């Protein structure tokens, strides 16, 4: 991690992935030899990840965000850099979607897109913005990750959000995933290995609370400021 110089990339501030988490993620991508990376939450981390994969053949960064504004800023930062990686920036609005009995906010992506552009060696979940909930992102990404690949969740120290999502994911995938919590790095990172392909069996408990939160968060999403 110490070999990754984040200040060279001018870390922009508190909305971005914490500097220690950036160093971990870059070092982790490098040690894995990750070629294909999927990112939810375009921004500072996008160029950082692109730089880690650029020398590897067949590389791809697919970066997804719900904000046209911030997606465009991240794309511009990438395009005006000297990074030679292949990167695709996609904007997808958030919409309610059922996962078993769980109604969750989910990125409205073209069906089959992630599987078509995968399999991915590494996924970063750093969005949608914390008010909107991140539980669905894992369910959408899991089939597009190569067995032996990794999903990294940021902000994993938040008990009533990310920690509860990790519990739901474990209930759904059991031994097909293997999570390790790194609570001392930044705001907490959860590094989850995809052990094998599996169909999820979504947790029924908590479905009503999840649906109510989704309704509230969807209303927030629809009424957010124009420039988000």
Ligand X SMILES: C[S@@+](CC[C@H](N)C(=O)[O-])C[C@H]1O[C@@H](n2cnc3c(N)ncnc32)[C@H](O)[C@@H]1O
DSSP 150-168: EEEEESTT-IIIIIHHHHH
Least Å distance, CB 107 to ligand X, is 10
Select 89 or 169, whichever has its Cβ closest to ligand X: 89
CB 74 within 8 A of CB 43: yes
DSSP 205: T
Burial tier of 207 (Cβ tally within 10 Å: 0-12, 13-18, 19+)? middle
Least Å distance, CB 218 to ligand X, is 16
CA distance 59 to 80: 19
Nearest-CA neighbor of 36 among 23, 21, 49? Answer: 49
Which residues would be at the binding site for ligand X (CB under 6 A)? 15-17, 41, 43-45, 65, 67, 70, 73, 126-129
Least Å distance, CB 161 to ligand X, is 12
Least Å distance, CB 106 to ligand X, is 14
Least Å distance, CB 203 to ligand X, is 25
Tell how far CA 58 is from the center of its chain. Answer: 21
Select 43 or 188, whichever has its Cβ closest to ligand X: 43
Select 65 or 121, whichever has its Cβ closest to ligand X: 65
Which residue number is nearest to ligand X in terms of Cβ? 43
Least Å distance, CB 30 to ligand X, is 17
Positive/negative CA dihedral, 189, 43, 127, 228: positive
CB 54 within 8 A of CB 77: no
Select 49 or 114, whichever has its Cβ closest to ligand X: 49
Select 67 or 217, whichever has its Cβ closest to ligand X: 67
Select 132 or 202, whichever has its Cβ closest to ligand X: 132
Backbone angles phi, psi at 195, to 5 degrees: -80, -45
CA distance 111 to 175: 27
């Amino acid at each position: 991690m110490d070999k990754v110089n984040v200040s060279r990339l001018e870390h922009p501030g508190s909305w971005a992935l914490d500097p220690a988490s950036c160093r971990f993620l870059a070092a982790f991508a490098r040690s894995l030899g990750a070629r294909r990376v999927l990112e939810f939450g375009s921004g500072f981390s996008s160029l950082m990840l692109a730089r880690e994969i650029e020398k590897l053949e067949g590389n791809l960064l697919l970066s997804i965000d719900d904000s046209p504004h911030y997606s465009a800023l991240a794309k511009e930062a990438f395009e005006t850099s000297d990074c030679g990686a292949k990167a695709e920036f996609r904007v997808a609005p958030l919409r309610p979607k059922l996962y078993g009995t769980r109604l969750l906010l989910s990125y409205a992506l073209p069906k089959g897109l992630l599987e078509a552009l995968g399999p991915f060696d590494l996924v970063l979940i750093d969005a949608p913005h914390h008010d909107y909930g991140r539980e669905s992102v894992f369910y959408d990404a899991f089939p597009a990750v190569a067995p032996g690949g990794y999903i990294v969740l940021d902000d994993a120290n938040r008990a009533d959000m990310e920690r509860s999502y990790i519990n739901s994911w474990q209930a759904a995938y059991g031994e097909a995933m293997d999570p390790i919590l790194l609570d001392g790095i930044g705001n907490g990172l959860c590094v989850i290995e995809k052990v094998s392909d599996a169909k999820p069996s979504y947790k029924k408990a908590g479905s009503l609370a999840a649906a109510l939160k989704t309704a509230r968060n969807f209303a927030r999403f629809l009424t957010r400021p124009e420039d988000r």
